Structure 1
Amino acid sequence: MKLLLIPDKFKGSLTSEAVSKAFIAGVKNAGVEFTSHYIKASDGGDGFMQAVAHYRPCISVQVISENPIGKPIQSYYLYNQETNSAYIELANASGMELLKPDERNPLLTSTFGTGLQIRDAVQKGIKNVYIGLGGSATNDGGIGIAQALGYSFLDENSKKLKAIGSSLNQIKSIDDTGVLKGLKQVKFFAINDVTNPLFGENGAAHVYAAQKGASKLMIDELDLGLKNLDNVVLDKYHLQNAKLPGSGAAGGVAYGLKTFLGAKYFSGINFVLELSGVNELLSKERFDYLITGEGKIDEQTLNGKLIQGVVALGVRENIPVIAVCGKLAIEKEKLKIQGFFDVFEIQDSANDLGYNMKHAAGLLTAKTTEYFKLLKK
């Protein structure tokens, strides 16, 4: 049996490498004869730069930046000299993990810190900037990034607003006279795999803001704010990017990157798979199963996360896809319609989340052993 492993991390519990190791240990314990190949992947979210560095020679560029609530931090991005490209991970300066639980409030957070990283790259003469989206603590529509690059967002009195979520509703005009020189000579790429629009029932605020600390009232305010931003942009630039699939990624950062920097949207999983050389691998080798997984598989998994990209690869190459997860919160039949061969969860229902996260590796190995013993019969 030949296995191709492309799992996501189990957030807060296991890295993708640890998921693969625990899975392989389980297959070994099942007494199955097999070979395996592991691919380190990312959908553009947490772990994006690690995946890039795994496949491309890069140096780390240190930048004094700001976290989502404006506190100074030491951050970094990656630089590849051969292609004169920078790889920036949004979560590195604007991520939810940079804040304590009681600091998380998307009305008050900003992507300004990520904008400082982009500014540094542009000023160094870098001509290609790839921004991996995901894991953000923000819902600012990308105005924080834009402000760091010289855009100003003004209220009805032409007063400059702070680039945070609560300002979105107050924006009446945009001043771009101070935009950083050389910005138009740089190619920008927004790397992510979610398909949400900017606002509305399936938009950035309604789908993702709650996990960033927003209440129902805050979500409604943020959604209206994003709609207002789009209206101001339409009036100023005659651009309509809000409904493009993916514009709602990372609290609307994708929309901001496209609107203010002319960024192209690029599938995160396809980007990393291309870096990994998986197409060349599959042209030479045939695999019996493609293994993927993440901490929780639910409806959001079908909104363009890494797993959906892996399933698409499996369908294209006619390789059955088995997914493993800590918790399964969607009917298996829905997943099978999407192309999954099978999926199994590893949680011990007799214990709480903390126990399951702490013992995830052992649980994964045990459940994998059990599954493959049945599979080989």
Structure 2
Amino acid sequence: MKLLLIPDKFKGSLTSEGFTKAFISGVEKSGVSFTSHFIKASDGGDGFMNAVASYKPCIAMQVISENPLGKLIQSYYLYNQKTKSAYIELANTSGMELLNPEERNPMLTSTYGTGLQIKDAIEKGVEHIYLGLGGSATNDGGIGIAQALGYVFLNEEGEELSSIGSSLQLIHSIDDSAVSDNVKRANFYAVNDVTNPLFGENGASYVYARQKGATDVIIEDLDKGLRNLDAVVSKKYNLNNGELPGAGAAGGAAFGLKSFFDAEMLSGIDFILELSGVHKLLAREKFDYIITGEGRIDEQTLNGKLLQGILNLGKRYHLPVIAICGTLEISKEALLERGIFDVFEIQDESKDLDYNMKHAALLLATKTADYFNVK
């Protein structure tokens, strides 16, 4: 049996490499004869730069930036000198994991720190900016990034606004006179696998803001703010990007990248798989299964994220996909209908979440051994 392993991390418990080690241990315990090949993947969210660094020769560029609440932090991005490309992970400066739970409030957070990274890269001569979106603590529509690169957002009285979520409803006009020619010449790419539009019941605020600390009232206000931002952008630039699939990624940062920098929208998993050379691998070698996994599989997992990209790969090469998760919060039937060959969860339902996360490697190895023993 030949297995192609393309797992995501189990957030808080297993890296993709940790998953692979535990999975292989489990298959070995089952007694099944097998070989395997590991692909480090990302959908553009957390781990994007690690995945890129696995396949591209890059230099880590250190830069003083800001976290989502404006606190100075040491951050970095990747720089490929040959192609004059920068690879930036939004979560590195604007990520939810940078804040304590009690600090999270998307009315007060900003992507400004990510914009400072982009500014540094452009000042160093970078011409291509690849932004991995995901894991953000923000819902600012990308105005933080835009502000760092010269855009000014004004209220009805002509006063400059802070680039935070609570400012969105107050934006009346945009001044782009300070945007440099170097910024205008740079090529931007928004790398993610979220398909949500900017606003509405399936938009950035209603789907993702609660996990960033928003209440029902805040979610409603943020959605109104994103609608206002879209209206102001539409009036000034004659653009209609609000309902563009993926515009809602990273709290609408994808919308801002598209609207202010004409960013090309790229599928995160497709982008990484292309870098990995997996298509050449599958053209010359025969595999029996693709194995993937992530900590939780739910409705959002089917919303254009990594798992969907793996399913597309499986369909293209006629390979069955087996998914492994910590917890399964959607019916197995729904996943089978979407093309998954099989799925199983590793949690011990008799134990609490803390136990399951701490013992994820052992649980994964044990459940994997049981699964392949049956096979």
Query: With structure 1 as the length reference, what TM-score do the two structures score?
Result: 0.99
- Alignment of 1:173 with 2:173, yes or no, is yes
SS at match of 1:182: helix
* Residue correspondence of structure 1 range 1-377 to structure 2 within 5 A: 1-375=1-375
CA distance, structure 2, for counterparts of residue 194 and residue 111 of structure 1: 18
| Offset at residue 329 of structure 1 (A) | 0.3
Output the amino acid matched with 2:366: A
Output the amino acid matched with 1:149: L
SS at match of 2:361: helix
Q: Deviations over 1:153-207 (max 9, x none)?
A: 1001000000000000000100111113311211100000010000000000000
SS at match of 2:140: coil
SS at match of 1:77: strand
SS at match of 1:135: coil
SS at match of 2:343: strand
SS at match of 2:228: helix
Q: Deviations over 1:49-86 (max 9, x none)?
A: 00000111100111110000000001110001111100
CA distance, structure 2, for counterparts of residue 229 and residue 274 of structure 1: 34
CA distance, structure 2, for counterparts of residue 112 and residue 177 of structure 1: 18
Output the amino acid matched with 2:41: A
| Offset at residue 234 of structure 1 (A) | 0.6
Output the amino acid matched with 2:286: R
CA distance, structure 2, for counterparts of residue 316 and residue 336 of structure 1: 17
CA distance, structure 1, for counterparts of residue 324 and residue 76 of structure 2: 32
Where do 4+ consecutive residues of structure 1 move more than 4 Å? Answer: none
| Offset at residue 212 of structure 1 (A) | 0.4
Output the amino acid matched with 1:23: F
CA distance, structure 2, for counterparts of residue 204 and residue 35 of structure 1: 41
CA distance, structure 1, for counterparts of residue 329 and residue 315 of structure 2: 23
Pairwise CA RMSD: 0.5
Output the amino acid matched with 1:211: Q
CA distance, structure 2, for counterparts of residue 316 and residue 138 of structure 1: 35
Output the amino acid matched with 2:341: F
Unaligned ranges ≥5, structure 1: none
| Offset at residue 364 of structure 1 (A) | 0.3
CA distance, structure 1, for counterparts of residue 76 and residue 114 of structure 2: 10
Q: Deviations over 1:198-229 (max 9, x none)?
A: 00000000000000000111000000100000
CA distance, structure 2, for counterparts of residue 175 and residue 229 of structure 1: 14
Q: Deviations over 1:122-152 (max 9, x none)?
A: 1111111100000100000000000000101
Percent identity of paired positions between Structure 1 and Structure 2? 69
Q: Deviations over 1:304-334 (max 9, x none)?
A: 1111100110111110000000000001111
CA distance, structure 1, for counterparts of residue 181 and residue 275 of structure 2: 31
CA distance, structure 1, for counterparts of residue 280 and residue 214 of structure 2: 44
CA distance, structure 1, for counterparts of residue 182 and residue 361 of structure 2: 48
Output the amino acid matched with 1:16: S
- Paired residues, what number? 375
Output the amino acid matched with 1:19: F
Output the amino acid matched with 2:304: G
| Offset at residue 262 of structure 1 (A) | 0.7
| Offset at residue 28 of structure 1 (A) | 0.5
Unaligned ranges ≥5, structure 2: none
CA distance, structure 2, for counterparts of residue 128 and residue 148 of structure 1: 17
Query: With structure 2 as the length reference, what TM-score do the two structures score?
Result: 0.99
CA distance, structure 2, for counterparts of residue 311 and residue 259 of structure 1: 30
CA distance, structure 2, for counterparts of residue 148 and residue 71 of structure 1: 15
Q: Deviations over 1:87-138 (max 9, x none)?
A: 0000001001111111100000000000000001111111111000001000
Output the amino acid matched with 1:212: K
